[in-house]
Every structure is written in C-alpha cells, then in structure tokens.
Chains A and B, each alone.
Chain A
C-alpha cells in the first residue's frame, strides 16, 4: 500500500470506530478541502452512504459560493445537514466586520460559541429537509457527544499534539497535558457523562496528501481553490473579511498538487493567509483550548 492508501485506510478505521462507539455523532463540514475529503472518506467507510449527520457553522460571512456548493452536494449526496449560527451576536453586530470585535473575539463568537451551543442543542438547529428542499428549524435537539473534525497535525503546533480521539470537558476545554493514552489503534471510546470527544481522522494527513487524494479520487471540490483568471486563488477557506487569496495560477487539482510538491508553496505554511493567527502567535492554542477547530 502506498502512503495515500495507508492514510485512507487509517481514516476509515477511525470513522468506523467512532460510528460504532458513539450514539450522538456529528461531523463538522466547513465546505473546505479537508472536511470535504473527510466527508468523502465517510462515504468510503460506509459504502457510499453518509449515516453521520453533518454540521456546518454559518458565520454569515462565508463566501456565498460556499453556501451554494454546500446545498448542492447536500442534496445530491442526500446528506443529513445541520446548520448552526450565532444569531444573537449577528443581530447585535458584535463582530469584526462591524468593527465591534477583534478578529479573535469574532472567531470566538461566530465559530466557537455557535458551535458549542449548536452541539449542546441549546440553540436551534436548521436541518435540511430533503422533501421540501428547505431548512426546518429544530429546537431542543439532543447534545452531540462525538464530534468528528478534519484537523490536521501539520497545520499548527498545538494540533501536532492531538489524539485521534480527544476528550473535551463540560466547557469544551482541551486539557493538553492530560491527554489519554492511545495505542495500537485503541482509542478513547469510553467517557464520563457530561464530557464529549473530538475525533480527528485526518491528523496524519498533510495539505499535499489532501490534494493528492482529491486528485486520485476525483472529489468535486469548490472552485474557490482554483485560479479562475485573476492570478489568485484561495488556499484555505474561511470568512471573507479574514481570509485572503494567494497569488497563484494553479487552475486545477493537478496544478495545485504540483505547486505544493515542488512549486512555490512547497515550503510555505497553509495558514499564512489567515489574519487571525497573527494577532497572537499562541492565539490558536488558546482558541483551541476553548473549543475552536
């Protein structure tokens, strides 16, 4: 087996282990390349089906094309899609684009808070209804106890220390120095009431591996990643006020693979395009301790 086959097999194993062990499981789908690969791997793990519901946190500042893409594939692949949002903060304009928050505070509100309360079921969830094609508002949903996330260890320092199955306490907090023992593909699948677990099937993948896999599997990926004329493309997707395209003329997946393997990005970290990481160099570790993904 080559490197990609090994990575794929391990991720599928983790997904199935999660599905076997957790009753209330959800998978985060940001529409970006990593979580879309994750979704693809889930369809591999479950033989074409997607039995695990997907959760998208909509900050309302996502690039509109992302929402179109999301809804299109949710319908096509019959996904059980749930959307969560911090409606209050948006109404009160407590955001960075409204000049009422720093970038980090804004992330905390629109992503971490929204995620936390949507997972717990305290805030209403919008659920895609495949019969009407519309979203139904569902209140009082059950809390999700297992959350599958597409984090990769190569993204940033604190992520390199993650476990495949990583417990979080009642407050969503990550205790980095007391991580569970994990060996021989036996993961933390038992947990005390009130705690939950983050599951990271993509931990061992690099950005290059992700694109190589997209190429090999021919996974439909959102067009924002490609240069469509202006000599610019997105390398990582987020909210438009805080994510900037990079200079690149890669027009398709194989050109991106080339660019990462030996071209201009072979030595440049992916997150260099994200503004919020720069405010404080350990900002991401702090955010992550509080439940940011």
Chain B
C-alpha cells in the first residue's frame, strides 16, 4: 500500500516518517547509528529527517527537495511511504509523489498552525483522486502539549476540508521529535487516547471498487512478433477498471470498431478465461479489426466511455510558462496521445485561499483552473466522478509534463478550430465573377479531390502519377500533388506534425478545386477524422476516395477499393470509369 506524507514546509513530514521507521525497527541495521555518527562528525544536531533526505543538497539545506520512497513493513502489511517536499518550489515533486499514493497523511505544525501549503496540498489531494486523509498535528512539544491548541487547529483545518468536500479520517496530536503518538499513545498527552500515527496508517483501506466498474482497457500497443514465428496479434495494455471474459463482445473507442475476445494471453501463466482490473495483460480477437494504440477498449454490454473533442476540465498547471490560447499542446489521457488546445478559461482558483477569478486569459504556474480544451480528433474518456482512471490526463508542453487535470464533462460545440478557420477564410475571400459553373463548362469537367489512401508502401504514388498522366493526355485539367506524407511515421502523428500536413492538404486542395482542377493526392493511413478535416477545408468542392490495400476506415465509404496494386493501367481505367460515371469527367455530346 502506498501512502504519501504531505504538508507545509518544515512541519515535520520527514521527521514523522523517520521516527515511524526507527520506532518500528524498520531501518536497516546500523543506519541510525551511521547517520548519528555523521551528524556528530559534522558537528550538527541529529535529525530523523536525514534518514530520508538523502541528497547532499537536502541535507545541507535541511529541506526535502524531491519525494522519496521508503519501504516499511508493519505487523499488518507492506508499505511504500512517500515523503513529499513541502516547499512551494518543489510542488511538482510533491505531486509526482502524491499521485502514486492511495492515502495521505497531512502534517501540520502545532506552533505555526495551518499554512498556505497545508491547504494547497489538501486541495490537490482531491484532484489527484486520493480520498483517504488523516491529519497529524505535529510538534505538540512546542505547544506545551496543549489540547486547546490541537483542537483549534483541528477545527480550522476540518472546516477547510469541508469546503472542498473532503473528510479526514482522524486528527492526531503528536510530536515526531519526541516520539509521542507515533507508534503509541503518550503520557504527555493524557487527554488523547485515539489512534497513533501507526494505527492510522494501518487503518487506511485498499481501494476495492475498481473491479465493479465498467470495463476499461486503454490499448497500449498491438503486438505481432511474426519474425519470431508467432502469429498471434495481441492487443496489449492494462485493465484499469472492470473485468472481462473470453467470448465477451468489445467495442473500441473512439473508432467504434467491434470484435470479441478470443483469448487472454500471457507468458508463464496457466490458460486464463477471465481478467480483471489491475492486470497488465493482452487479448486476441475473433475478428481482426484494425485498432491504433491509444484507443479505449470497452465491453459492449457495459456503459461505454464518452467520446468528443471538447472537454470541460479542471487543470493544475506546474510550468513556469503559463498555459495560453492558440498554442498547440499534447494531451495524454489513458493510452491516447493527441494535440490539444486551450479554448476557454472559465475560472482560475487559488488552491490555498480558495478564491476564484473569472477574468483570466491564461493559466499560471500553480494555478488550478476550470477550462475548456479542444482535441485534434475525438478522444475517449470518462468523467472523473465516474471512472477516475480514464477521467484524468496530463498536458505536455515542450517535451515536459506541464500539468494534470480531470474531466468534468463533455461539451457540445457547434464550431471547432477547423470550421472557425473556414469561416474566417470565407469572410476574407474575394470571389471573382467566374463561377464554378462557368469554369466547369469551359474545362469540361467538375473539379474534385481524388485522394489515394491506404497503408504506406502500397504503390499509391505510382498510381497517382499514372492517373495524372492519363487524364492530362486525354485533355483534362489535372494536377498531382507530389507532396507525400509517406515519410511521416506514426509517432509524428503524436508529436503533432501530421495535423499540420492534413491542414495544408485541405487548404491546397481548396485552391486547386476552386480553380476548377482535378487534384490528385496520396496519403498514408488516413483516418475518418482527418478526412473530415480535409473535406471541411476543401468545401464547397468534394472528394473521392481510392483505397489501396487494407481498408482501415471505420465510417467512411470508399469509392474504389483496390486490394493489391498489381496492374496500374487497369486501376487507372477503373478510376476513370468512376470519375466518368459520377460526371467529373464530362463526355462530349455529339
């Protein structure tokens, strides 16, 4: 069980843990003596915190800089206790530590009382999804072990927690330095006979409800180790919530593809017929649907996850550079990774004062903000209140995880970044007197975009060139856009350069079709959403889809499917037939 210890700087977090370890004899033999001897050698007072603050800089400054893991075993069970730093400068490190925990111990200094980060840490716990909290009022020795001091801090902090909808399991008066109420009750506080810090730690409950929730399996990867003589196609990942059995029908979101579980795979394990939350596992499917890493596999009989491009979220921002409008970030939500933009800041909250501000245009470091995000393509998610594991995300800014957040709700939006762009374009565009109809009559053709799609390396470019040549030779106004994307691989999709390519293709195609031409372009691994973007940008003209190789669209109807490109001239003739039948190529009437 993982437990994080948090609170304001210097309130005694590391000392509490050090003391807990020492008094339960959990330290390696000689460790305490070694640290004491080193302190004596350097002529400085011994600190229990030195047992944890292992970095040179930490010991020199007497401060925790980065979260540490300490391994601890009580009579009941094994723990990883995470010692978080309290200084605001290291809030990021506190979050990294706390996010791994299932429960938290919050430390408040009896002499200093509730401070800024006592509150901020408390607030962040609720965002991090940690519901079990207990509070230690520490350094009671500095407050004469006064019951009144303890109770006043308890009441003040309890009221704060109430405001953010959190209830502490218990409040414990203690002194880490003197060892009071750490592993046992102390005579110095006869007025307190409640649980000790150790009792509280042992009383935190393991989260149990994940198995009863709907099944959620973020697809981490799809493996096929053919070169090692293994033909299984395995959809791999970790089950976040719920359970599944062989034979269950599944649906992948956002693509909507469906299949059934054929087998549950593993290495050095007996044959399995079911799997449940927490397991890193893999499945083979009865029907080979094409899925990308990042999709969310749900059970068809469960409530499915939601999908959409506009999300109302709560974000905490940790970067020195603020989060701003019109800058492309990357979101990572469960297995999905995708470009994302900040569209609207609703309110910004000061997490330590709980004051809000609704006039802010950007999100500064350490802010907590309610805002609207727009993703490049639909993304699958749950609301944080329903399934925490698939209702939270991080934002990447310039290679760094810059913040995290939780999904509050899906937002319906009539417009998006692409339609807004088209609107702006149309407003500015000065149309000439030569209408599309006039051009069409002159050129004896209707303009269109012929998109040749399919997986990489299927000969799409050759086909495109042959088609251009044939059409040109027969007197058509045609252009092949030789700006292929085949060099752009999958991970370029993630880093977001591909969406720029798609946008350009849409804009360029709009120019050519507006000029009355037939534009031919090739693109690998086009998906339904990208096609939609191209189509929106290319309006009012339309497009025709020629697919070479396996068809990986889930909603789009392709106009011509070519399984294998063996005979290019024949394929060219087929495309021409299609274009003629649909009256793009207008025949002369005698």
Contacts and interface: CB of A to CB of B under 8 A. Distances in A.
A158 B266 contact: no
**Which among A43, A45, A186, A192 has the highest number of chain B CB atoms within 10 Å?**
A186
B194 interface: no
Contact of A9 (B57, B90, B238): B238
Contacts of B230: 47-49
A153 to B, nearest CB: 4
B165 to A, nearest CB: 20
A267 B128 contact: no
A182 B267 contact: no
B280 A157 contact: no
A68 B54 CA distance: 37
A133 to B, nearest CB: 18
B57 A47 contact: no
A257 to B, nearest CB: 14
Contact of A161 (B67, B128, B293, B394): B67
B92 A181 contact: yes
Interface in B202-227: 220-221, 223, 225
Interface string A178-210: 011111101010111000000000011010000
Nearest to B239: A9
A170 B29 CA distance: 38
A40 B261 CA distance: 26
Interface in B90-106: 90, 92-93, 95-96, 99
A1 B281 CA distance: 14
B386 interface: no
Size band of the B side of the interface? Answer: 35 or more
Contacts of B57: 176-177
B181 to A, nearest CB: 25
Interface stretch (A14-22, A103-111, A227-235, A247-255): A14-22
A48 B267 contact: yes
A188 B234 CA distance: 25
Interface string B372-386: 000000000000000
B228 A49 contact: yes
A47 B265 contact: yes
B221 A176 contact: no
B577 interface: no
B495 interface: yes
A72 interface: no
Q: Tell me the dominant secondary structure on chain B's binding face.
A: mixed
B216 to A, nearest CB: 13
Given A47-B225, A49-B228, A217-B268, A153 B69 contact: yes
A3 B80 CA distance: 11
**Which among A10, A12, A191 has the highest number of chain B CB atoms within 10 Å?**
A12
A167 to B, nearest CB: 9
A17 B38 CA distance: 41
B313 to A, nearest CB: 14
B509 to A, nearest CB: 31
A13 B69 contact: no
B560 to A, nearest CB: 34
**Which among A158, A161, A180, A281 has the highest number of chain B CB atoms within 10 Å?**
A161
Nearest to B78: A3
B394 A183 contact: yes
A206 B71 contact: yes
B488 interface: no
Interface in B411-431: none
Contact of A16 (B268, B280, B392, B402): B280
B495 A190 contact: yes
B56 A46 contact: no
A267 B55 contact: no
A183 B401 contact: yes
B267 A181 contact: no
B75 to A, nearest CB: 13
Interface in A56-76: none
Contact of B228 (A8, A9, A78, A269): A78
B71 A51 contact: no
Given A1-B278, A176-B55, A267-B25, A46 B66 contact: no
B546 interface: no
A206 B128 CA distance: 26
Interface in B17-74: 25, 27-31, 34, 38, 52, 54-57, 65-71
What 9 A-B pairs have minimum CB-CB distances, sorted nearest first?
A157-B54, A183-B99, A12-B280, A269-B28, A153-B69, A181-B401, A160-B68, A186-B394, A9-B280
Interface of B: 25, 27-31, 34, 38, 52, 54-57, 65-71, 78, 80, 90, 92-93, 95-96, 99, 128, 220-221, 223, 225, 228, 230, 232, 234, 236-238, 265-268, 278-280, 282, 293, 318, 330, 332, 389, 392-394, 396, 399-404, 491, 495
12 contacts: A1-B279, A5-B279, A8-B280, A16-B280, A17-B220, A43-B268, A44-B268, A157-B54, A157-B55, A179-B96, A203-B69, A269-B31
Interface of A: 1, 3, 5-6, 8-10, 12-13, 16-17, 19-20, 23, 43-49, 51, 78, 153-154, 156-158, 160-161, 163, 176-177, 179-184, 186, 188, 190-192, 203-204, 206, 217, 267-269, 281-282, 285
